[in-house]
Amino acid sequence: MPFQFKKGETLKSQARKIVHNVAEFCIEEAAAKSLKVPLPQAMKRASQATGVLEFTIRKIRNEVSVLDETEVLSTPGKHRKSALYDKQFKTFTSNKTHRKTRYTALFTIHG
């Protein structure tokens, strides 16, 4: 079953671009009165309609097949450093010895 947006839900810019690509693809096919890509080549057809690589479409389909109905697709994002790393860094920079060494190094270079 295809994913359905809720009524009144706002589409982000990337989703809006994909919707535009699909609409243009369908309009061009209607104007030409023929299919750009044969129906049996579904992945290639979806790729051309959306402007997304076939590999990406395959990955998304695999993710969706594993999900439950209540789960949401995850957005791959930037890997963030853990809070432990930040805590260690703050402890290191607040160390008096470190500050003194840094001050001495700056003073000898610029002094």
Task: Summarize the confidence of residues 28-50 as an average pLDDT.
Answer: 95
In a domain, 31, yes or no: yes
In a domain, 90, yes or no: no
Per-residue pLDDT of 22-33, as tens digits, reads: 999 999 999 999
In a domain, 110, yes or no: no
Task: Summarize the confidence of residues 61-72 as an average pLDDT.
Answer: 79
Between 89 and 18, the more confident residue is 18
Please state the domain count of the chain.
1
d(CA 111, CA 31): 76
For residue 96, pLDDT beyond 90: no
In a domain, 35, yes or no: yes
pLDDT of residue 27: 96
Could you tell me the pLDDT band of residue 93, with boundaries at 50, 70 and 90? low
Give me the torsion for CA of 28, 26, 75, 67, rounded to 10°. Answer: -150
In a domain, 99, yes or no: no
In a domain, 111, yes or no: no
In a domain, 39, yes or no: yes
In a domain, 50, yes or no: yes
pTM > 0.75? no
- The residue range of the domain holding 47 is 13-65
